[in-house]
Amino acid sequence: MPCGIDLVATFFGCLYAGFVPVTIRPPQSNNLPACLPTIKLTLEISNVLGVLTTHNIARILKSKEAAPLLDSKSVPPLIELDDVPKKKLESLYRVPSPEMIAYIDFNVSTTGVLSGVKVSHTGVMGMCRAHQHVSELYPSRELALCLDPYSGFGLVLFILSSIYSGHHSYLLNIYDLELNASLWLSVISTHKIRDTYCSYTAIEACCKELGSATDMLKSRGVDLSCVRSCVVVGEERPRLSLLSSFSALFSPLGLGSHTISTSFGCRVNPIICLQVSPLHYSVVF
């Protein structure tokens, strides 16, 4: 599913129907050789019964360009969510035991190895509860999320945490920054958002595309002085030089040097990497 509210709805739809969701990053038509092998391997390992997707993504998977890399006979049935359902769900599935699997988290490591983590319903509740407590999330809080929602802590933030805690999340498609690099910063400024989570991809895009355009952004009224905490989520060591460049480049827009922190670590226990007090630490281990 594309990054957005449809992804959240589809994920919870699977849980309500009694299925175990496996989130997979959609293929990009301009980079199929890099995307499809990972998709194929994930489908094979997880042994899925069907693929919930949109018409546009299904068309890419069935295209002639994808045929050499993805055998249509080995792909589970593609269920296009654009179609109107023929019947309504009569009753919601209730999990018999909280120790049963809620979802499977697949991701490719920095060394190129695909691995999957089975997350139980107890694990989901524990992560969401920890995030709510540590980040003091309550219904009136607003977060801007600009990160990969298909695995790790990004999945917890984007899909699960907002529903559990009830706060307001602005879900930004990380891939939209390729077309509009100022999207993330503009949303923060327009809605006066105090807390934001992002990925290194978002930081890189802003530094590369907007590093020399701060005067233009300032003339448009982009003001980042409202930001209290900007947490960069990654599964790698903090990239201090990149974070320092980002802080220096956008300080003219009011971005404070002590607002940026990082969260990184293994996907098995992502919440342990959250900072308790983002105002007092520039890097969190």
Short-list 230, 233, 226, 263, CA closest to 247: 230
Assess whether 159 and 266 both reside in one domain: yes
| pLDDT tens string 98-138 | 999 999 999 887 677 888 889 999 999 988 998 898 888 98
Average pLDDT, the chain: 86
Token pair recorded at residue 240? 């201090």
CA distance 129 to 209: 37
Q: How many domains does the chain have?
A: 2
236 and 158, same structural domain?
Answer: yes
Say whether both 192 and 125 belong to one domain: yes
Domain boundary among 79, 94, 109: 94
In angstroms, the CA 179 to CA 176 distance is 5
Question: What is the reported pLDDT for 116?
Answer: 87
- Domain edge (last residue) among 78, 94, 110: 94
Say if CB 23 and CB 150 are below 8 A apart.
yes
| Sequential DSSP letters for 49-76 | S-EEE-HHHHHHHTSTTTTTTS-TTTSP
For residue 86, being part of any structural domain is answered with yes
Residue 262 to residue 21: CA distance in whole angstroms: 28
Q: Are residues 136 and 80 part of one domain?
A: no
SS (H, E, C) 210-269: HCCCHHHHHHCCCCCCCCCEEEEEECCCCCHHHHHHHHHHCHHHCCCCCCEEEEECCCCC
pLDDT band at 265 (very low <50, low <70, confident <90, very high): low
Q: How far apart are CA 267 and CA 148, in angstroms?
A: 13
Same domain, 137 and 265: yes
- pTM beyond cutoff 0.75: yes
Do 45 and 167 share a domain, yes or no? no
User: Is the domain of 143 the same as that of 188?
Assistant: yes
Asked if 268 and 119 count as a contact pair (C-beta separation under 8 A), the reply is no
- Do 139 and 216 lie in one domain? The reply is yes
Residues in CB range of 151: below 8 A, 6 or more apart: 23, 105, 106, 107, 267
Specify if 237 maps to a domain. yes
DSSP letters of 129-161?
HHHHHHTT--TT-EEEEES--SSHHHHIIIIII
- Is 105 strand, coil or helix? strand
Whether residue 264 sits in one domain with residue 137? yes
Q: Are 6 and 81 contacting, i.e. CB atoms less than 8 angstroms apart?
A: yes
Residues 177-221 pLDDT 10s:
988 999 999 999 999 999 999 999 999 999 999 989 999 999 999
Has residue 281 been placed in a domain? no
What residue numbers bound the domain in which 82 lies?
Answer: 5-94
pLDDT at residue 280 in the model = 43
Element (H, E) at 274: none
Q: Is residue 282 part of a domain?
A: no
Q: On the CB side of 282, how many CA atoms lie within 13 Å of its CA?
A: 9
Look at residue 116 and tell me if it is in a domain: no
Last residue of a domain, one of 55, 79, 94: 94
- Comparing 279 with 125, the larger pLDDT belongs to 125
pLDDT at 282: 43
Could you tell me the CATH number of the domain that includes residue 150? Answer: 3.40.50.980
One domain for residues 161 and 233? yes
* Residues 133 and 81 reside in one and the same domain: no
Asked whether residue 110 is domain-assigned, the answer is no
pLDDT of residue 267: 54
Do 80 and 130 reside in the same domain of the chain? no
Strands of the sheet with 195-199, listed across from one edge: 168-171, 142-146, 195-199, 229-234, 260-264
Instruction: Scan for tokens 């607003």, then name that residue.
Output: 142
Does a structural domain hold residue 103? no
Average pLDDT for 45-67: 90
DSSP 279: T
Q: Is residue 279 part of a domain?
A: no
What mean pLDDT do residues 8-21 have? Answer: 92
